Structure 1
């Protein structure tokens, strides 16, 4: 199958593997094999698509629409498969078939052009919070999911290195790392988390109004998951004259609606915003970094 992978994916893969690998070169063959083995007809590549995988709209042999997703090993497709299987369609897209060794997931077709982000902000936050509520379940026994402590430990090391190369961000990095240490000292009950939920990752469906896609699952406290949602539409928050006040109200409203401790949510929001800002600087996305670090300074 001849196709051009979306540029968004090409750029993102260059950020996560700056020395390069051969996954993109192998991708046409992977797609052809995955489609042939499942009797799929490929309609088109979904554009702009994701930042860590190729998404294709397909039809199964019986004509049922579906989505074929292929991801490189560093995107942890086995972890995504395990989470989707455990959720079994409750709050998340339904898994139809998978070969995680090949990075292949076959998923139910949602409506990629209609996400929660298309709603007015207040309604979007409400629907996103309701989606998270359905996803926060006990992890399966004997699971191998990464924990919040493990993931943020890796991130903390990169943040320290970033602070050494950019002294101006050191105070925010220090505050974020201190917040992490305090939060991990006495964590509440652990749940299976989406890991990277934002409004654009909640799509309209047929069997349910809204379903989450694209998890990078992790096991930990719910406030960690909710923290990513706090900064959604960060560019609008930064542009608003009262952006800082809006952010504080958003933290309070989301914490109360999902019965999450407000200070824990504020702490994880700070950590995740600073981590994302430092990472954006590292890969050359200066504008994104500025927005994220200004947002973090409000917390």
Structure 2
């Protein structure tokens, strides 16, 4: 079977590929080798799939359905492996292959086409928040996960470099919020890192499980912030979008016992960071939505 990467993956990785990176060119061969090594039967490549990895639906030798995931080094697949092993299937997809190979994960099969985004908005937020709460545990001893300070530090430098024209004031506000938030974090937990509704899929063991973490260690409000802006296009289109945004912050903060102002601050930072990054790679519609949303915070 040909393992051609979906166009969504090609476009997304093309935006961030360093000079000389040939991971995409080597991907079909790497996928063939990973399948052969594990004696898997391939069903299909998941399309449109994700933005940072190839996802292949497979079956193991005993007929058990599973997912084979291949990701480039810059997507930090080894960190994902360690986090999934630490969670042990609690709130997240189960890791099936303990050893694995570089950039290769074998995971339990969920329902890849059914995420909480299929639910009405209020129910989707409730279920997503419940899955997220289960992930917030003490990080493993001696961990090598990136910290929130480290990750946002890199992002802050990129934001400064791209802060021109009308976005300067928003970037300044976001950077100021980050500095205040990092001064006294209330807790240190293992976080999903890139949590949103589309990262919560229907399962068999439990109704909903998180997938695709880019784990980071820090305060819970940072993790919850990305969920606040889910379905941002619908929020922006609503005549009461600004009020809806503020109510989301309040409702999610209360439901997960997170400080409301800290959640607002991290939501501002993450929305502006995403908006500036979208501007940098030419995704102008996404940038406009994100920066307008950030202005309401």
- Interval containing the TM-score (normalised by the shorter chain): over 0.9
Residues of 2 paired with 1:232 and 1:120: CA distance?
12
2:201 counterpart residue number: 203
2:111 counterpart residue number: 111
1:139 counterpart residue number: 139
3-state SS in 2 of match to 1:275: helix
C-alpha contact 1:81 1:100 (8 A) present in aligned 2: no
3-state SS in 1 of match to 2:290: helix
C-alpha contact 1:77 1:100 (8 A) present in aligned 2: no
2:252 counterpart residue number: 254
Shift of 1:101: 5.0
Structure 1 vs Structure 2 CA RMSD: 1.0
Whether 2:156 is the aligned partner of 1:156: answer: yes
1:124-162 CA distances to partner (integer Å, 9 max, x unpaired)?
Answer: 000011001100000000000000000000000000001
- List gaps (5 residues or longer) in structure 1: none
3-state SS in 2 of match to 1:97: coil
2:127 counterpart residue number: 127
After superposing the two structures, state which structure 1 stretch, 197-206 or 26-35, moved more: 26-35
Alignment of 1:1-299 (within 5 A): 1-17=1-17, 19=19, 21-97=21-97, 101-163=101-163, 166-299=164-297
Shift of 1:4: 2.1
Residues of 1 paired with 2:41 and 2:22: CA distance?
25
C-alpha contact 1:70 1:105 (8 A) present in aligned 2: yes
Distance 1:107 1:286, change over 3 A: same
After superposing the two structures, state which structure 1 stretch, 100-109 or 143-152, moved more: 100-109
3-state SS in 1 of match to 2:190: strand
- List gaps (5 residues or longer) in structure 2: none
Task: Give the TM-score normalised by the residue count of structure 1.
Answer: 0.98
3-state SS in 1 of match to 2:105: strand
Shift of 1:38: 0.7
Residues of 2 paired with 1:102 and 1:32: CA distance?
14
Residues of 2 paired with 1:152 and 1:60: CA distance?
39
Residues of 1 paired with 2:53 and 2:120: CA distance?
28
Shift of 1:102: 2.2
3-state SS in 2 of match to 1:247: helix
1:8-31 CA distances to partner (integer Å, 9 max, x unpaired)?
Answer: 000001011163521111111111
Residues of 1 paired with 2:274 and 2:189: CA distance?
23
Number of aligned positions between the proteins: 297
